[in-house]
Amino acid sequence: MIRPAQASGFYPKDSIELKASLESLFQQVEKSSYLHGIVPHAGYAYSGLAAASFYKSLKKTNSVIILGNDHYGNTIEISTHPYSEWETPLGKVQVDEDLTEELNLPVVESFKEHSIEVQLPFLQHKFPNISILPITVPPTSLEKLIEFGAELKKLKVPIIATTDFSHYISRSTASRLDTIAIEAILNGDPEELERVVSDHSISMCGLHPTLLIMSILRKKERELIMYYTSGEVTGDNSSVVGYASIGFK
């Protein structure tokens, strides 16, 4: 079963235009070296540079695990998907069936969901033959995330979680709140991140994928690669979204 591209408007539909967009984004960022990461999932015109700053530095790999959001309430459980391939304008990406079978997760169709899909062209651009294990992580207790993370860690595969940060507030407020959340991520304590997001009402849409990757990689060295808001792109600082990329070594 093939999942057709559904993230209309997030990236160019034309393959030539998409390749040119990716090449431009990769040329604008520095290269480092990371095994795992946290990346945004907005339209490439907005968060593409932050995403590219991680993907350019992702170490060579045959498979990756992608922890995506559930913006549309498709599931209440951590779930995989019924597709053997995910399609983008750059072609089809194979799902790693061996990894999927090891986890034996519930299955959900990802209607409209874009958070996983928008990662794929970056991966295809960097590693044309890469396979993926896409996992949707809806709001779930931290206890369950830690328990599942212990199973995920056993797979020993690079992990990418996706989140955007503050939504539709002023740039100054977004930068202040996002700094609090990012500092908690860099401290490596998922309990701290969960607490500060709640205490400060930070509208971080990928909180649970982020908590999951943090629970798995507590002891890994991590660093902020890039942070900015949509205000830097559009010039409108009255209502912005925050974007960050964070790498784990």
- What global pTM score does this model have? 0.96
Alpha carbon distance 146, 193 (integer Å): 14
Q: State residue 11 phi and psi, 5-degree precision.
A: -150, 165
How many structural domains does the chain have?
A: 1
67 CB-near residues (< 8 Å, 6+ apart): 135, 137, 159, 160, 161, 162, 209, 212, 213
Residue 104 predicted with pLDDT over 90 = no
The residue behind tokens 């913006």 is: 71
Backbone Cα Rg of the chain: 17
Q: What is the pLDDT of residue 75?
A: 87
Residue 230 predicted with pLDDT over 80 = yes
Q: What percent of the chain has pLDDT over 90?
A: 93
101: in domain: yes
Give the CATH number of the domain where residue 63 resides.
Answer: 3.40.830.10
Structural domain of 57:
17-248
Q: What residues pair up with 210 in beta bridges, in sequence order?
A: none
- Lookup: tokens for 27: 């040329």
Residue 217 predicted with pLDDT over 80 = yes
pLDDT band at 214 (very low <50, low <70, confident <90, very high): very high
166: in domain: yes
114: in domain: yes
Q: Which of 57-61, 69-73, 114-118, 183-187 has the lowest mean pLDDT?
A: 69-73
